[in-house]
Structures are given as structure tokens and as C-alpha cells.
Amino acid sequence: MDRLEHFASVLTERSFFDALAAPLCVTGDGVDRVTLYLKAETSDFIRFNHAAVRQATHVSQGYATLAVVHGARRIESTLSLTGRLDTDLATLLAERSALQAQLADVPDDPYLQLPEAITSSSRHQTGVLPSPASLVRDVAAAAQGLDFVGFYAGGPVVRAFADSRGQRHWHHVESFHFDWCLVLAADKAVKSAYAGTHWDDSEFARRVAVGAARLPLLAQTPRHLDPGAYRAYFTPTAMGELLGTLSWSGFSAKARRSGTSSLCRLERRDAALHPGLCLREDASRSIAPAFTADGWSKPAIVSLIEAGCASGTLNSPRSAREYELEANGANAQESPEAMWLAPGSLAEADALAALDSGLYVSNLWYLNYSDRQACRMTGMTRFACFWVEDGQLAAPLSVMRFDDSFLRMFGEGLMALTDRAELIPESGTYRERQLSSVTTPGALIEGWRLTL
Amino acid sequence: MLDQLESIARRVAPAVQQWAVRGVEETSEELVVRQNVAQAPSRCRDGGVMVSVVDRGGMGYAATADSSEAGLAAAFDEAKSLAHATAGRTVFDFSRLPAVTARGRYQSRVEQPASASGLKDKLELLASASAAAKLDDHIIDWTASLWTVDAEQLFITGDGGRAEQRFSFVTPNVQATASINGVTQTRSAHGQYNGFCQQGGLEVLARANFAADASRVAREALELAMAPQCASGEMDVILMPDQMMLQIHESIGHPLELDRILGDERNFAGTSFVTLDMFGHYRYGSDLLNVTYDPTRSEQLASFAFDDDGMPAQRQFIIERGILQRPLGGAVSLARARALRGDIDGVATARASSWNRAPIDRMSNLNVEAGDSSLAQMVASIERGVLMQTNCSWSIDDSRNKFQFGCEYGRAIRDGQLAEVVRNPNYRGISATFWRSLAMVGDASTFQVTGTPFCGKGEPSQVIRVGHAAPACKFSRVAVFGGET
């Protein structure tokens, strides 16, 4: 079976979506608006353990969310699609009729807000992806003699939107994401990733070799630290975990207004972040679609923090109507999809020298709020974290728990941000392959609080 | 779809060493009333098939929602192609897996099917709960929700296996946020992320005391907003069942998953401090600790007759009188583990989140068995401590050892008496020693059946339903602390 046939699925073809949208997105019989949103993908999922294949899965899936609106009433239904046009169209038409009938039982929603502008967009990016057989060979060759454990996900991903007023948005990207650990022993490992749209065997092999070269450092006797405050350098990957946790309620307009956001103190000016901190939702740098599931176009940039002060929130259309704000392309959860933290001035190559003595934190793990009102987070160090002395990696660290306020860490505690922001694509595959990302530099922090 | 699946599968299945087909059809409805305003109802109908093929020692999976003869044949081709592409380069020679021949049925016990109640009635029920949660102006946000799911699954194997299972799940919840003098606190009926999740129909609402619970939740949110911070220090704690749920889940369930122990999850969900040599003799907890894998409790979230690899499920002790007995691993992991240690045992717990994911080891229903202490006896035994209820924060390390958990609601305990409400109760510890500090186990009067619909794990990632039933339990000398705000 060749690659074209392997990934061939009408579910990710525009002609299939258009053929569904045209007869479905039609008003009448007490319906003012009909919308259709498609999430589809054809994916290879291959997981490895001990440099061998644990599971190899090919998934073809498509989900259509159909919504009908009358006045201030809305109801929606999501259906899996077979890829057989006649079958899917008949199913969706029947569902539309059922939704129309149920609209009568739905109360008016005073906060319902739908886009007024009629916009359309199209992005269609093709790629070059490995076949499962060649990927398995590549891993076997590159990981020979290594305890390689990892996960490859690749194939086309589609998001599409249509409505009865003529809106049409299309987003099709063929991409891959492969991340892996080279494990020395127990929880000591070097984690690496390779993501993009055009697979290159030699680049993959090079990245595995770079990781392998770092393994001897992990073989040294680990340093056990006592709880206390330490200077620490966070790599962009570790920063992605901190910013990802901050995204959990931090920028949501609804959470701010209902007092449950972790950044309420920042907004009230009871606390301030470092004046050098600038954080934005930057769709222009994003791998996510430029439109939402409700057909709203995303602005290029939404300012969230400027000069260390709260400067904006992510406003879903519903929150915007409820709190009399301007909707700004946020999803229903009001969580960032393309967060960008402005780089600073510390040359990345000088980060260890600037740290001098302290922790080099390659990865963080399992973060959560320990006191959301105080924006206090807890979590663990993971993988290849090191104790640094005189600007040199001195010894691997035994895993440590931290419990510290983000407002303190990135307020009075922030010493410097590095001068290069790295794009970290979301690797999650819950329900479907994710398209969000965080772009962030590394950070040097004073007084990071370790507790266990 | 499922009514034709077996005949089509047997017609188009290729000539291979082993094959299986697992069809899933699931319908769900999510209703939310926030601040007395109904949000747009959302429902979902999801159906598809996962095909697996073992051939030449390799194994491949292919998922499709096209269950027609052509669709299933194409999926078989994909799965067979993957089996051949991986043959000789797999973690295990899959041709050594035992044939799956089990046959049988399972159906959730349902008294009042959710589908028999109209949308209007359900929205009115939620509107009533929402209104009851608005006790006064200090309640600044409040929500009532109801999530119902009906799922049907048919598992067919080339060796004659056939498992037909039908599930119904109901998850109601109420949540209220109170703000007083700059202090904001959120209280929920059974966890902000879980709800009272059980198998069954709308009779689950009565078991959850849903109709009357909203005012209790709001009242406790107000209490929390006026409460002092939880004290810090080493002290005894009583964990109520809706926190025991999380404690069991993170520090017993995950570390005992056999695929973690075998290293599969080291790149994502993590490894385990537990190793294969520990089973049969390792002291996991005090003599009072008895943990069962129990798929037979009808109302519990992960009860079933067969796992998703067709292995028959039966109740087993995982930890007995504190001693570790067996891991949570299904047929594939068990075969791999037995190549390393021949006497290792397992349970039927390889499960997939839906038709589009392959089964991996999960924890299903994992319960702490009731003891013989009443809650009053446990409180009376504590000179200085805190009672904690309802998880709201969870974090644990890669090996599932160093943990820190937080609860919504705390009550100080002084001189054997329950004292004031405290906010932001947190505690931390180490799994390998924490369960040895289990000092008293609550009796049947303190026992509750809980769980979570959102256990995440796996590559590709999967969210799955797990059940945890437990009594209230007392732990000695725990590191406890409060918050800052």
C-alpha cells in the first residue's frame, strides 16, 4: 500500500465537506441559522518501548458538529462521520430535523452571540510523512543500543466551518509530531522531539544522537536537594508547562469576572509581574486554525500581559455578551491556543553562566494549582534536570516537588528571559490531534521554592 | 451498525493468525444551567470500529467509522499492513498471545432511562437546582449540570469470542462560588471535575441527593469564604471518600498499572516506583489496607463483564492486609510480564476510551474495602488534625511517589471533636510510605461509591471512566498545609 492510498480519506477532503455543507446549511422552518463544524484526521499512531514497537494504530475519524439557531435559542449535536457521503448527509439531515424539533424546548439564551460578519479563509498545507514501515526502520537504526521510548503521530488534520449565511473556513495541515525519551535508568531520561510537515530521516537520526550524547551526564551520582529556595533556569519546554498551567483559568474573561481566575490579583493590581514580561495570544504565529468552532475569525494578536500588568482577557462570544466585552476569537473555554511570551536579552548560550549555581530544569511535570487565588502552583521536576555549579552541569537531580507562586516567580523572582522564543507544539492526542502551541523563551528565576 | 457488525466482520476478515473487531456506539447529552440561564444543549452520537490483526508476530490496529463491508475490509487491510510492517520489531512476539474465545453479555442496571425523560424536564430540574444554589448575594457564580451517556459495545474475535456490553452513565453536579471580603472559594457537590458519576439511569440523581444538594453546596461555599486557612504542620488527617477517590487513583492505581511497570508510559504518563519483583510480598500499606479490583459492583462507573481485549472480569484483591498481590494488567501486558516473571497474575483491565483508540492497561474499579471504625470513632481518636473532603488539586511525580493533593473543604479536629471549617486544606506525602500510615478504616456507614470520568493516559492519549469506592480513612502524621489567600 503506498502512502497516498494509506492516508486517502474523504473525511479530510474539502470536496467532501463542501458537499455536506451545501445542503445542510440551509435555513427555514423556524431556523435562522445553521452551522457546521468539522474536525477530521487520518493518523498513524506508533508508540515505541525499548526501541521496539508497542502499538501501531491507523485511525480515520471525522466529527461534524451541527447547530441550529432560532432567535436566542441554540442547540447542537456532534456526529461521527463514516466518509460515505450519502450516508453521512442523510444522517446529518435527520439530525438537523431532530434539532429543529427540540428547539422549542430550549429556553432563550440571553448570552448567545454569533458572528455577524461573513468571512471566509483557507489554508491547505501538504507535507511529506514517513510510512509506518520506514518509520519503524528509522527508529531501529537511530535507537540501536538505546532504551528508546516514544510516540509518533502523523497525517492530515482538518478543521472546517460553514454556515447558512455563506461563511466557509478551511484548515488542512499534513504534519507529524514525534517525541521520545532515551532512558538511562528509572526516571532518568533525555527527552527530545521532532515535529513539522516534512519528515527527514537524517534530521531525526541527528536529534536522537544529540540526546544520546547527553546520557553520560545523567549517569553521574544524583544530587539530592533539601527543600528550600534555589536559583533555577527553566528551558522553553519547562516554561511551556508553567504557561500551560497559567492558561487554566488565568486569561478567561469568565473566570476573571467570577473571581476564580488565578490572575485576579494581577488584574486587581494586588500583585505585579516583572515589567519585562509581555504575553500575548498570537494567532499569527500559530499552527491552529484562524477561526473558531462557531465561525469567528481570530484577531492576529490579543494582548494578555504588557509590561508585567494585566492587559486583556480571552473573551468568548458568550462571556463578551454577558460581561459587555468585545469578543476576541476565544474558544468556549477561553484558554489560549497560541500563547507567545516575548523573549528577553539573555543569550541562550549564556544561560548556565548567568545561573552560576542552581538548578537547570529541562522538564516539569504534573502541574496544578495549590492555591489558585494566589496563583500558587505545585509540580515536579522530570527527566534531565541538573544541579549546576560555576555555570557547568554538575550532577543530575533526584526529582523534586516545587510549590511557588507564579506571580512571585515571574515578578520579583524573574532575573532574565533568554533571547530566543521556541515554538512548542501541543503533543496531546485526547480525542484528536491538538493544534495549539506555546512559544516561549527560557527563564532565569531567583528563589524557586522546593518543598519535597 | 452493531447489528450487522459480526456478520460483516466474519465475511471480510483476512486469513491471519488472530483478528478482533470492537464496535462502539455511544450517545451522550450535556446540559448546563449557569446562573439560572440554560446554555445550549449539546449532544453527541459517536460510532465506529477498531480492528486488530496479529500476523507474522506483529500486531496492527485500524479504526474507522465506516462499518460497511468495504469500510471494514479497508480497516482490516490497514491493520494487517501495520502488523506486517512491525513484525520482528515489536516489544513482544504477539503470535504468543492466547486465543480469545470468551462469550457473554453485560448490561448496566437502569431503573429510569435518561432517554425517557424529555429535554424540557431535565432543563427544569437543572434550573431548580441552579436557583437553589443562589443562597445570597455572596454567591457570585453557580452551575448545575447533567451529563448522560449510553454506550453499546460488541467485541468479536476470529477465535469465536463474542462480548456484548451495554452501559449507561449519569453524572450530575452542582457548583457554587462564594466571595466575601476578597476571599473567593468554590464548592462542588462531588468534585469540580468529576461529579457524582455512576452507572445507571436517572435514579443516580436520587443516589446523589441531587434535588436537595444545591443549597448544601452553596452554604459550604459561604462557610469556606469566611473560614480561616487550614493550619500547617504534621498532624492526623481523615480523608472522606471523595478525596480517597483521588488518593487511591494516583498513589495506588497508576503505580500498579502493568504497562507503566513495563515501561510503556515513560515518555508520557510516567513510570512506577513499583517493580515486578514486589508482587506477593511488598508491604504497600498497613495491615488495615485491603484494595480490590471489583468490576461487579453494579452502580460503579467501570463495572463490566469483559475488558476491551475480551478478558473475563472478576473481583480480585490487589492489596490484601497491606501486602501487594497483583498488578493492573490485561492479557497483552500479562503475557509480556510473564516472560520476565512466570508467576505474575493480572486482572481484566485493558480498556480503550472509544472505538478510535487501542486498549491499554487502566485501573477500572479500584476500591478500598470498608473497615470497622465509625467516623465518630475516628474523629474522637484525633487530638489535632483535619478532615478533608472533595479533591480540587492533584499532582504526583513521574514514578507516582511524591504527591501533593488539595481539597475543597476542611474541618479542623481538636481534642477529639470536629471544630471550625478551614479553607485550602492541602497535604503532601510519598506513596511508598503514606499507606503505611493508614491508622483507621471507616465502616460501611462511611463507604461511598465514587469515581472519575476523566482518567487520562496513553499514547495516543485516552480519557476513560474509572470507579473508586472507599470508606473514610484516618492517616497518621501527615504533612498538612493551607494557602496564602
- Residue-by-residue DSSP string for B165-210: EEEEEEEEEEEEEEEETTEEEEEESS-TTT-S-EESSTHHHHHTTH
**B37:A111 CB<8 A:** yes
Computed over its alpha carbons, how large is the radius of gyration of chain A? 24
Mean pLDDT, chain B, integer: 97
Nearest to A260 among B62, B186, B479 (CB): B186
**A75:B40 CB<8 A:** yes
pLDDT above 70 covers what percent of chain B? Answer: 100
**A80:B46 CB<8 A:** yes
Which residue in chain B has the smallest CA separation from A380? B397
Nearest to A102 among B119, B177, B358 (CB): B119
Q: For residue B186, which residues of chain A lie inside 8 Å, CB to CB?
A: 260
Cell reading at B111: 431503573
Q: How confident is the model at residue A2 (pLDDT cuts 50, 70, 90)?
A: very low
Smallest Cα distance from A345 to chain B, Å:
32
Smallest Cα distance from B446 to chain A, Å:
27
**A77:B42 CB<8 A:** yes
- Of B133, B43, B57, B61, give the one whose Cα is nearest residue B90: B57
Q: How confident is the model at residue A286 (pLDDT cuts 50, 70, 90)?
A: confident
Crossing angle for the helix pair A14-24 and A85-102, to the nearest 10 degrees: 40
End-to-end CA distance of chain A: 53
Q: For residue A403, which residues of chain B lie inside 8 Å, CB to CB?
A: 404
Chain A and chain B share a number of CB contacts under 8 A equal to 256
Residue pair A136/B85 in contact (Cβ under 8 Å)? The answer is yes
What's the distance, CA B329 to chain centroid? 15
Q: For residue A106, which residues of chain B lie inside 8 Å, CB to CB?
A: 38, 40-41, 119, 123
Question: Which of A370, A398, A399, A405 to substitute to test the interface with B, most B CBs within 10 Å?
Answer: A370
Smallest Cα distance from A367 to chain B, Å:
6
- The full set of domain ranges for chain A reads 3-216, 228-450
Residue B195's pLDDT is: 78
Mean pLDDT, chain A, integer: 96
- Each residue of B359-404: pLDDT tens digit? 999 999 999 999 999 999 999 999 999 999 999 999 999 999 999 9
> What is the secondary structure of B384-402 as a DSSP string?
EEEEEEEEEEEEE-TTS-E
**A76:B41 CB<8 A:** yes
Instruction: Compute, in degrees rounded to 10, the torsion defined by CA atoms A75, A81, A85, A87.
Output: -80
Q: How confident is the model at residue B193 (pLDDT cuts 50, 70, 90)?
A: confident
Is residue A119 over pLDDT 50? yes
Question: CA A387 to CA A366: how far, in whole Å?
Answer: 21
Q: Is A77 helix (H, G, I), strand (E, B) or coil?
A: strand
Q: How confident is the model at residue B413 (pLDDT cuts 50, 70, 90)?
A: very high
DSSP 8-state code for residue A438: E
Question: CA B139 to CA B131: how far, in whole Å?
Answer: 11
Which residue in chain B has the smallest CA separation from A84? B66
- Counting Cβ atoms within 10 Å, is residue B14 exposed (0-12), middle (13-18) or buried (19+)? middle
Question: CA B383 to CA B367: how far, in whole Å?
Answer: 28
Q: For residue B65, which residues of chain A lie inside 8 Å, CB to CB?
A: 60-62, 80-83
Smallest Cα distance from A344 to chain B, Å:
30
Q: For residue B268, which residues of chain A lie inside 8 Å, CB to CB?
A: 151
pLDDT above 90 covers what percent of chain A? Answer: 96
- Each residue of B4-26: pLDDT tens digit? 999 999 999 999 999 999 999 99
Q: For residue A43, which residues of chain B lie inside 8 Å, CB to CB?
A: 460
Q: How confident is the model at residue A287 (pLDDT cuts 50, 70, 90)?
A: confident
Nearest to B263 among A50, A370, A371 (CB): A50
**A132:B82 CB<8 A:** yes
Is residue A346 over pLDDT 90? yes
Q: For residue B457, which residues of chain A lie inside 8 Å, CB to CB?
A: none
Is residue A256 over pLDDT 70? yes
Q: Is B467 helix (H, G, I), strand (E, B) or coil?
A: strand
Q: For residue A191, which residues of chain B lie inside 8 Å, CB to CB?
A: 267
Is residue B194 over pLDDT 90? no
Smallest Cα distance from B44 to chain A, Å:
5
State how far the alpha carbon of B309 is from the alpha carbons of A40, A190, A410, B295, in Å.
27, 33, 48, 15
Q: Which residue has the cell 446562573?
A: B35
The whole-number average pLDDT for the span A273-297 is 94
Question: Which of B139, B273, B404 to substitute to test the interface with A, most A CBs within 10 Å?
Answer: B404
Which residue in chain A has the smallest CA separation from B76? A58
Is residue B200 over pLDDT 90? yes
Smallest Cα distance from B271 to chain A, Å:
7
Is residue A4 over pLDDT 70? no
**A110:B37 CB<8 A:** yes
Is residue B318 over pLDDT 60? yes
- Sign, Cα dihedral of B253, B309, B267, A195: negative
Nearest to A260 among B61, B177, B264 (CB): B177
Cell reading at B451: 469515581
Task: Name the pTM for this structure.
Answer: 0.97
Residue pair B251/B403 in contact (Cβ under 8 Å)? The answer is yes
Is residue A282 over pLDDT 80? yes
Question: CA B255 to CA B270: how far, in whole Å?
Answer: 9
Q: Which fold has domain A3-216?
A: PmbA/TldD fold (3.30.2290)
Residue pair B9/B149 in contact (Cβ under 8 Å)? The answer is no
Smallest Cα distance from A441 to chain B, Å:
23
Residue B444's pLDDT is: 98
Smallest Cα distance from A100 to chain B, Å:
12
Q: For residue B360, which residues of chain A lie inside 8 Å, CB to CB?
A: 55
**A378:B43 CB<8 A:** no
Q: Is B19 helix (H, G, I), strand (E, B) or coil?
A: strand
Q: Which residue has the cell 526501541?
A: A51
- Each residue of A64-73: pLDDT tens digit? 999 999 999 9
- Each residue of A309-331: pLDDT tens digit? 999 999 999 999 999 999 999 99
Is residue A1 over pLDDT 70? no
Q: For residue B45, which residues of chain A lie inside 8 Å, CB to CB?
A: 77-80, 95
- Each residue of B239-249: pLDDT tens digit? 999 999 999 99
Count of alpha carbons within 13 Å of B360, Cβ hemisphere only? 29
Q: How confident is the model at residue A5 (pLDDT cuts 50, 70, 90)?
A: low
Which residue in chain B has the smallest CA separation from A48? B264
Beta bridge partners of A306: A309
Question: Which of B398, B433, B454 to substitute to test the interface with A, most A CBs within 10 Å?
Answer: B398
Nearest to A49 among B40, B91, B456 (CB): B91
**A83:B461 CB<8 A:** no
Q: For residue A61, which residues of chain B lie inside 8 Å, CB to CB?
A: 48, 63, 65, 356
Q: B460 preceded by cis ω (within 30°)?
A: yes
**B424:A76 CB<8 A:** no
Residue pair A209/A429 in contact (Cβ under 8 Å)? The answer is no
Q: For residue B397, which residues of chain A lie inside 8 Å, CB to CB?
A: 187, 365-366, 380, 382, 399, 401
The whole-number average pLDDT for the span B130-138 is 97
ipTM confidence: 0.97
What residues contact residue A2 under an 8 Å CB cut-off, 6+ apart? Answer: none
Q: Domains in chain B, start-ordered, CATH in brackets? A: 2-226 (3.30.2290.10), 233-481 (no CATH)
> What is the secondary structure of B418-462 as a DSSP string?
EEEEEBS-EEEEEHHHHGGGEEEEB-GGG-EEEEEEEEEETTTTE
Smallest Cα distance from B443 to chain A, Å:
31
Smallest Cα distance from A81 to chain B, Å:
6
Nearest to B402 among A147, A149, A401 (CB): A401
Smallest Cα distance from A57 to chain B, Å:
4
Question: CA A414 to CA A408: how far, in whole Å?
Answer: 8
Residue pair B273/B431 in contact (Cβ under 8 Å)? The answer is yes
Residue pair A307/A342 in contact (Cβ under 8 Å)? The answer is no
Smallest Cα distance from A303 to chain B, Å:
26
**B485:A180 CB<8 A:** no
